[in-house]
Amino acid sequence: MWLKDSSIGRKLVMSITGLCLVFFLLFHGCMNVALVFSEEAYNWICSILGANWYAIVGTLGLAFLIFVHFCYAFYLTIQNLRARGNDRYAVTARQQGVDWESKNMLVLGICVIGFLVLHLANFWFKMQFAELTGIETSAFDPQDGAGLVKFMFAGNGAWSIVLCVLYLIWLAALWLHLNHGIWSALQTLGWSNLIWLKRIKVIGTIFASLVVAPFAVVVFYYLGMGIGMLLA
């Protein structure tokens, strides 16, 4: 199977799964921004998604994408380490125009997935999971997503501040991963030439910022609220 046995096939799988995740995050981020404007609006969106069949299919699809992306990431990186040979260079220099993140995609990806586990435990487990199983996983009604978010990010004293900072680190890692990942995915798909090479790099940076910004806005919003509550 060429998607597994050829290097470009493996890269194709990486890029398609990566890009699908980017589109999901874009959607997820837009949804979250509703929190800043109106908690009712957010809860209304949650009620549409909740435990409906399409939300469940979506969640399973996402789990599959992340699983494939994750497995291929390790498969690729191990092969690449082996291709490098046993002797390492004694002196390595940085080349101009080569981003740090492009050489550390696995590390950044692992940061992203580490925080993802935290995120699922904090929110998904208490919202969709609770709704699905009917088990009471927190003091909050699964329907009141906004209340839960507000408590976690602002209403939980110093812990809220810590959580906000952790989320900001997560978002930074994600931005770096995507700053390289998006243009790299387009290059892998062959959507580049002498002129578009420079353009897709800019597109990658813009897209990475667009994906991360809505999440960051929400975190900063609650961070401000949390600090206000602590000081009050």
Partner 1 sequence: MDSYINIKVKVWRQAGPKAQGHFETYELNHIFQGASFLEMMDILNEQLIAEHKDPIAFDHDCREGICGMCSMYVNGHPHGPDSAITTCQLHMRKFKDGETITVEPWRSRAFPVIKDLMVDRGAYDKIMQAGGFVSVNTGGVPDANAIAIPKPVADEAMDAASCIGCGACAAACKNGSAMLFVAAKVSQLALLPQGKIEAAKRAKAMIAKMDELGFGNCTNTGACAAECPKSVSLANIARLNREFICAKFKD
Contact set with ligand HEM (CB under 6 A) = 11, 14-15, 18-19, 21-22, 25, 66, 69-70, 73, 77, 105-106, 109-110, 112-113, 177, 181-182, 184-185, 188
Provide the minimum distance between the beta carbon of 197 and partner 1 in the complex, in angstroms, as a whole number. 5
From the list ligand HEM, partner 1, none, partner contacted by residue 92 (C-beta under 5 to 8 A by kind): partner 1
Which of partner 1, ligand HEM, none does residue 173 bind (CB under 5 to 8 Å by kind)? none
Shortest Cβ distance from residue 53 to partner 1 (Å)? 32
Tokens of 69: 């992306």
Please, what is the minimum distance in Å from the beta carbon of residue 28 to partner 1? 26
Which residues contribute to the site for partner 1 (CB under 8 A)?
2, 5-12, 76, 79-80, 82-93, 95-99, 102-103, 105, 180, 183-184, 187-194, 196-197
CB 142, CB 133: distance < 8 Å: no
The 3-state DSSP class for residue 85 equals coil
Residue 222 partner contact from partner 1, ligand HEM, none using kind-dependent CB cut-offs of 5 to 8 Å:
none
- C-alpha span between 161 and 54 (Å, rounded): 34
Nearest-5° Cα angle at 129, 128 to 135 = 125
How many other C-beta atoms are found inside a 10 Å radius of the C-beta of residue 129? 17
| Residue 153 near residue 163 (C-beta atoms within 8 A) | yes
Instruction: Give backbone dihedrals phi and psi of 125, rounded to 5 degrees, phi first.
Output: -60, -35
Output 188-197 pairs: Cβ under 8 A, ≥24 positions apart: 188/8, 188/11, 188/12, 188/14, 188/15, 189/12, 189/15
Closer residue to partner 1 (CB): 150 or 180: 180
Residue among 46 and 112 whose Cβ is closer to ligand HEM: 112
Residue 176, contacted partner among ligand HEM, partner 1, none, CB below 5-8 A by kind: none
Residue placing its CB nearer to partner 1 in the complex, 134 or 190: 190
